[in-house]
Chains A and B, each alone.
Chain A
Amino acid sequence: MINRLVIENLKHRRLRTTLSALSIGFQVTMILAVVGLSRGMLQDSQNRARGAGADIFVKPPAASAISLGGANMPEKMIPAFFIQQPHVVRAAGSLIQPIGGISTVTGVQFDDFAAMSGIRFIEGGKFRAKFDVVIDEYYAEQNKKKVGDSIRFLNTAWRVTGIIEAGKLARIIAPLATLQELTSNTGKISQVLLKLDNPKITPSVISALKNTPGLEGYSIYSVEEFVSMFSIDNVPGLKAFIYVIIGLSVVIGFLVVWLTMYTTVLERTREIGILKALGASPFDIINLLFRETLILALVGWAAGVGLSYAANAAINGLVRASLQSVIVYDWWPTVMAIAVFASLLGAAWPGLRAAKQDAIEALAYE
């Protein structure tokens, strides 16, 4: 019977029920979108690192594995050392340069990199002139660029000569020498990518490289080690940011439900008096309000999950070159718990107030 009263009460105040559930839903969507965005961006970075086709990544001393830029490695190490190592069949250097926000341009020797990664052109071909660039399909789609168009970064106009399939290390690929010159990094690169004749012996090759005099301090990773570093834990501040969003969501959820339940209790003072006259205990009253709150939280959670699909589709459909989002199914139980916790917290004080309501005063309430 209590459940029937709960359902009828929620149905009776449809607009408020809908708005309250949606408010909780937006809180759920906010968390799912932030986590989905964080994970999507990191997964995209992982996919692009794998797409480079390398078995080993070599980073210079003091360089972060997932840094957006920096060039502290002599390019001449490639012909002088890396390509001569046993089992190394290809070696390519790249220079990564930030161009605003989290966007970067990557400079490569095109033929070396193409041979390693197996780049496939959707339109056009490799760069031929000093200020030519190749862009990936996501960048082209988001920025509405086609072969022959011009794009501008580093205070320079670049001509698009080709559009490649996404997932090959970078969204924008420029001639290495041009990028080195523009960024005052002549002769320097950010990392070296190595392709082995047999990927299964990657650990032994890494071990040999680490024991090579002169490579002390260099970070040498297998591709799987390298991509495993693209995690929420390894991005400075990201975890804290997610916690802040969760904290804000809890506060918003708490306030929404607090306000909803507070007005509900005021509006239903007489009803609470009737229930008490019928023999409802304070526990019964709190139980009633908590069940209503639980339903609001669960409906809000479901709405929030649905809205997160819409947010995901919007991000990936409109700005997938800049942002990537994924559906984070494993977070659904967590956000459900957060929504329920925040909502029940919000219902606690109004519930206690209702439970303590004097039955006679409540029955006299107009």
Chain B
Amino acid sequence: MSNDIIRISGLKKVYRVGDIDVPALRGVDLNVARGEFLSVVGPSGSGKSTLFHIVGGLTSPTSGTVIIDGQDMANLTDLDRTRLRRGKVGFIFQKYNLLPTLSAMDNILMARHFGGGNGQPLSEQFNDLLKLLGIHHRLHHKPRALSGGEQQRVAIARALVNRPAILLADEPTGNLDTENSDRVLSVLRDLNVKLGQTILMITHNPEAAAYGHRTVTMRDGRLK
């Protein structure tokens, strides 16, 4: 059995904008090993986010093969993709995307609710993770009371609460200053090293990309 947790071949995605077909991905082939920290770089419009969305089950491919942790994405219904998001994938976004009306802890518990762990206490391992992220003392604050760095670390905790097979990070330091960027990237690297977490990170920043084991570059819907 292959050790690759993500296997992509001949992946194409075409968006229909009015009467015009706009190709976002023109045939991507990519394998990511279990426990790998992969950085995806490339200019705006190169197809990075589309790749992120397909791997995360937020949209379906037009053609090609995408296998996530042994599950072929080609024939998934919307409900199947919802299930995939609940269990196999955790998202981190550039704008943190915390629910503004809930506290940091409730944001984490909401993800846990959808993941099926509603009502169960958080594991000791996850509490250790909160300490590693440095947010254990800030969990009862709402997002507006947290700094950008803290919000992103809460978002990381939320993404990991269901122990996903893959952590997808879309420009996770795009809204952060250098200090907070370094801290978030260090946390991601620690998660990868200590927990063996597979991470696929999209970034514009070469310094951020350097935190990964491997960097691939996208341009015009293809990997270079």
| A279 CB contact (under 8 Å) in B86, B100, B102 | B86
- Given known pairs A5-B110, A278-B85, the reply for A12 and B100 (CB within 8 Å) is yes
List residues 58-96 of chain B with CB under 8 A from any CB of chain A: 58-59, 78-79, 82-83, 85-87, 91, 93
Confirm or deny: A1 has a beta carbon within 8 angstroms of a beta carbon on chain B.
yes
A284 contacts chain B at the CB level, 8 A cutoff: yes
Q: Please tell me which stretch of B38-46, B113-121, B172-180, B201-209 contacts chain A, meaning at least 4 of its Cβ atoms lie within 8 angstroms of it.
A: B113-121
Complex: chain A residue closest to B87, CB-CB: A279
List chain B residues, Cβ under 8 A from A141: none
B111-A5 in contact (CB<8A): no
Is B123 an interface residue, CB under 8 A from the partner?
A: no
CB atoms of A8 and B110 under 8 A apart: no
Q: Which of A63-71, A127-135, A172-180, A269-277 forms contacts with chain B?
A: A269-277
Partner of A1, one of B78, B86, B113: B113
Query: With A8-B102, A12-B100, A278-B85 given, is the CB distance from A359 to B58 under 8 Å?
Result: yes
Given contacts A1-B113, A8-B101, A363-B93, whether A277 and B106 have CB atoms under 8 Å apart is no
Residues of A within 8 Å of B79, CB to CB, are: 281
Whole-angstrom distance from the CB of B16 to the nearest CB of chain A? 13
Return A5 CB to nearest CB of chain B, in Å.
6
- A8-52 contact mask (Cβ, 8 Å, vs B): 1 or 0: 110110000000000000000000000000000000000000000
Residues of chain B within 8 A of A4, CB atoms compared: 102, 106
B56 within 8 A of A: yes
In chain B between 156 and 205, which residues have their CB closer than 8 angstroms to a CB of chain A?
A: 158, 162
> In the docked arrangement, what's the CA distance between A12 and B144, Å?
13
Pair A5/B101 contact, Cβ less than 8 Å: yes
Known pairs A9-B101, A274-B97; A1 contacts B58 (CB<8 A): no
Is there contact, CB below 8 Å, between A271 and B82?
no
A277→B99 contact, CB < 8 A: no
Q: Which of A275, A358, A363 has the most CB of B within 10 A?
A: A363
B114 touches A284 (CB 8 A): yes
In the complex, B34 has a CB within 8 A of chain A? no
Q: Is there a chain B Cβ closer than 8 Å to A2's Cβ?
A: yes
A276 CB → nearest B CB, Å: 8
- Report yes or no: A360 in contact with B110, Cβ–Cβ below 8 A: no
Query: A1-B110, A1-B118 given as contacts; is B82 within 8 A of A279 (CB)?
Result: yes
Query: In the complex, A280 Cα to B56 Cα: how many Å?
Result: 14
- CB-based nearest B residue for A284: B114
Instruction: Give chain A's interface residue range (CB within 8 Å of chain B).
Output: 20 to 34
**Do A5 and B102 contact each other (CB < 8 Å), given the known contacts A274-B97, A277-B97?**
yes
Q: Is A282 an interface residue (CB 8 A)?
A: yes
Nearest chain B CB to A30 CB, angstrom units: 32
Chain B positions within 8 Å of A1 at CB level:
106, 109-110, 112-113, 118
B53 contacts chain A at the CB level, 8 A cutoff: yes
Closest chain B residue to A7, Cβ basis: B101
Q: Contact at A271–B99, with CB atoms within 8 Å?
A: yes
Contact partners of B98 in chain A: CB under 8 A: 274
Contacts of B91 in A (CB 8 A): 277-278
Across the interface, do A279 and B114 meet the contact criterion of CB distance under 8 Å? yes
Q: Report the Cα distance A275→B110, complex, angstroms.
A: 9
A279:B58 contact, CB within 8 angstroms? no
Are A277 and B85 in contact, with the CB atoms below 8 A? yes
Interfacial chain B residues near A358, Cβ < 8 Å: 59
Q: Give the nearest-CB partner of B113 in chain A.
A: A1
Report the Cα distance A301→B109, complex, angstroms: 32
Query: Restricting to A318-339, which residues have a CB under 8 Å from any CB of B?
Result: none
Given pairs A5-B99, A275-B110, 7 additional interface contacts (CB within 8 A): A1-B109, A4-B102, A4-B106, A276-B82, A278-B86, A279-B82, A279-B87
B residues sitting closer than 8 Å to A (CB atoms) are 53, 56, 58-59, 78-79, 82-83, 85-87, 91, 93, 97-102, 106, 109-115, 118, 158, 162
Nearest first, the 5 closest Cβ-Cβ pairs linking A and B are A279-B86, A279-B114, A1-B113, A8-B101, A12-B101
Q: Show the binding face of A for B, using Cβ within 8 Å.
A: 1-2, 4-5, 8-9, 11-12, 270-271, 273-282, 284, 358-360, 363
Q: List 6 A-B contacts (CB under 8 A).
A: A4-B102, A276-B85, A278-B86, A278-B91, A279-B115, A360-B53
